[in-house]
Structure 1
């Protein structure tokens, strides 16, 4: 079993892209190639993943609550960055917060096998907030952004490099 550290991961923001009523696939993000901007000085990436809403029903003849799965939500990814006023990715994140448009995001993990490619995650989100935190004297000023994920998370697994 192999585990991997989060360090070395990279988060990118792309251009405006609407979530669809069906699950997205990697090819849906191919038009973003020229738009990707790495968000610099990322300290924390938060979490991603689906959770189903609970639908409960209490039939009187069973004396036990029945539970069903409702809509799925990929949640909110809480991103923390050290503020860099010149970073193109942070500037794009701030600009995206000022709009009602959903944007493409790509997360590249640091888990590539030797000579291979790393895992990637693709999703569409609204930038719900982009606030600054200043804290105490011996602190780095932070940009805290909430990404409200409105699509499925497209998982691309790490792959071994081609043989010779």
Structure 2
């Protein structure tokens, strides 16, 4: 099944959590004016190990996964100071707490959710004939929860 992203809605919980756990059932506030919703996932660091092949005595190089990382997730928004979701995003940028996030695909049947730390929030002025943007950098602090897995 293919998931269109046009028309997706991005949410943040109205309150932070001390430590990531289960996503809240309610208290979601839409973050308005989403223009680019980035990517969420994981990547691995790798380590190389040299060992000697016992039968032939030749050194062998093997690469293994070592440490899983969750790269920062970047979203771009049209800057709307009256948007409640963006106001919570500003609060999250000043907080050390984890905030739940949720991305709902068109049709409301499928979604992704995760906890994250808002590590950066910037007003982006771009070109002189453009509108002011807001760029949020969110570092995921949990696995990505998927509606298909529930």
TM-score range, shorter chain: 0.7 to 0.9
63-72 or 39-48, which deviates more: 63-72
Aligned partner of residue 128 in structure 2, secondary structure: coil
Given that 1:50 and 1:74 are in contact with CA atoms closer than 8 Å, whether structure 2 keeps it comes out as yes
CA separation in 1, counterparts of 2:62 and 2:18? 35
CA separation in 2, counterparts of 1:60 and 1:18? 48
**Cα RMSD over matched residues?**
2.0
Of residues 33, 43, 48 in structure 1, which corresponds to 2:26? 33
More strand by share: 2
TM-score (norm 1): 0.79
Given that 1:73 and 1:150 are in contact with CA atoms closer than 8 Å, whether structure 2 keeps it comes out as no
Aligned partner of residue 60 in structure 2, secondary structure: coil
Paired position in structure 1 for 2:121: 130
Paired position in structure 2 for 1:162: none
Runs of 4+ in 1 over 6 A off after TM superposition: none
> How many residues of Structure 1 are paired with residues of Structure 2 in the alignment?
144
Of residues 82, 92, 96 in structure 2, which corresponds to 1:96? 92
* 2:5 is aligned with 1:9: no
Q: Specify every segment of 5 or more residues in structure 1 that has no aligned partner in the other structure, as ranges.
A: 159-164
TM-score (norm 2): 0.86
Given that 1:19 and 1:150 are in contact with CA atoms closer than 8 Å, whether structure 2 keeps it comes out as no
